[in-house]
Structure 1
């Protein structure tokens, strides 16, 4: 019976102990890998947040630029309209000057 215990049971028990140690080593390795993965995903999440913030800032700057450009375009349109109005009034003034010259010519001939 002692031989059976030492040869069979003890051998199997030692194999179980060895298997248990191997499982623990494997579990420790898996834990290290998961911790490393979590660390990398945290860094990735942080980077993605920074990228999203940068994109938001760029979008805001573009929107502000577009608003400014729209304002400038509106001002330019108003300026063009005002210049067209001034040109029209200058043409009217030119016609009036021509009429005045004709009327003055009448007095010059007297």
Structure 2
């Protein structure tokens, strides 16, 4: 099959009473790699973090997924086709949304955030 593309449709939203932001991204996660994307959080503006993702193309249609704050894993999925997570924010700083394709040695995966 040659190069493999796994597309993940995801919506990253920081929701508050004051401000709401929604972001859509498309990224590629190479085989054997782990990639994270950062969402800065200001508690004066952000009350929740919501992430939805879906694998829409390629291979077994699965990926490992995590949301982290510092070294703390807040949410985690393993070998999932899709997921939806909502976190009540109680600490400011950079939150990480990570896709792990380290289990694949052959296929690159495209992700839409």
Q: TM-score range by the shorter chain?
A: under 0.3
TM-score by length of 2: 0.12
- Which of the pair has more CA radius of gyration? 1
More strand by share: 2
The structure with higher relative contact order (CA 8 Å, sep 6+) is 2
TM-score (norm 1): 0.12
